Structure 1
Amino acid sequence: MPGRRPRLPGAADQRGLSSSTQLALVLPLLMLLTLGVVEAGLWLHARNVAQRAATAAVDVARGSYGTAGDGEARARDLAAGAGLTDVSVHVDRGPQQVTARVSAHATLLLDLGLGTVEETASGPRERVSVP
């Protein structure tokens, strides 16, 4: 090729320097993105577990022979068994409706204040009636 100069042996390749610089900038960003995806997955899992615990508490407490204490115990066992810590459960068993609120702390790799999850579930109270 007419406009190209021959490369001398031992001459530094400028493309290698810019490539390594790009890698040094992009690699931490990719690692941060991966950490963000893992954190989001852990947080969503904790929310799903808390929601399922609240639903289970309502299911137990709304039955004819269920109590608020039974619902709270079920929710606490379910949440603690799935890895949540500092689990707090409150079940309100009113005359028409049962409501459960579960608050817990999720175990995250990098807790930025999003570790506390709180979910609520409610349902109608079942009553035995004579036909």
Structure 2
Amino acid sequence: MRRSGQRPVRADQRGLSSSTQLAVVFPLLMLLTLGIVQAGLWLHARNVAQRAATSAVDVARGSYGTAGEGEQRARDLAAAAGLTDVVVHVDRGPQRVTASVTAHATLVLDLGLGTVDETASAPRERVSNP
């Protein structure tokens, strides 16, 4: 009812405003959460690939180590940690041993960042007579 000289009573608009804000903010929060999870998976994959390359170098650089043993160690380590399509190359030269690991990480949204490539290098151990 309206009294003379007064404005009409309006319905409370806060409910509509609150739900509109939620409709805008909720997808942004979900996108942020997805981005954090995606970054964590990618960083974990890089760490695993680096550790696999380092492990391959550690095996192959020993006096009795071979490039094949290093490659196998790196493949096993990367596969156990969830990387797929693992390609390992170990170069055992006369002075240095270098290993490179290329693999594919399983991501929530693969935006072309799923491939990781890491390299490790160290001097080769040599046994000498005292």
TM-score range, shorter chain: over 0.9
Q: Name the CA distance, whole Å, in 1 between partners of 2:61 and 2:52.
A: 14
Partner of 1:19: 18
Q: Name the CA distance, whole Å, in 1 between partners of 2:38 and 2:11.
A: 42
Identity across matched positions, percent: 84
Partner of 1:99: 98
Matched, 1:57 2:20: no
Q: Name the CA distance, whole Å, in 1 between partners of 2:51 and 2:11.
A: 61
- May I ask how many residue pairs the two structures share in their alignment? 125
Q: Name the CA distance, whole Å, in 2 between partners of 1:85 and 1:13.
A: 56
Deviates most, 52-61 or 14-23 = 14-23
Identify unmatched segments of 5+ residues in structure 2: 1-5
SS at match of 1:107: coil
Q: Name the CA distance, whole Å, in 2 between partners of 1:49 and 1:13.
A: 56
Which residues of 2 match residues 71-82 of structure 1 at below 5 A?
71-82=70-81
1:52-96 CA distance string (max 9 Å, x none): 000000000000000000000000000000000000000000000
Q: Name the CA distance, whole Å, in 1 between partners of 2:55 and 2:31.
A: 36
Superposed displacement of residue 31, structure 1: 0.1
Which residues of 2 match residues 1-131 of structure 1 at below 5 A?
12-131=11-130
Amino acid at match of 2:124: R
- State the superposition RMSD in angstroms: 1.5
Partner of 2:3: none
Instruction: Give the TM-score taking structure 1 as reference length.
Output: 0.92
Amino acid at match of 2:13: Q
Superposed displacement of residue 16, structure 1: 1.1
Superposed displacement of residue 18, structure 1: 0.7
Superposed displacement of residue 12, structure 1: 2.9
Q: Name the CA distance, whole Å, in 2 between partners of 1:106 and 1:34.
A: 19
Q: Name the CA distance, whole Å, in 1 between partners of 2:68 and 2:77.
A: 14
Identify unmatched segments of 5+ residues in structure 1: none
SS at match of 2:64: coil
Amino acid at match of 1:39: Q
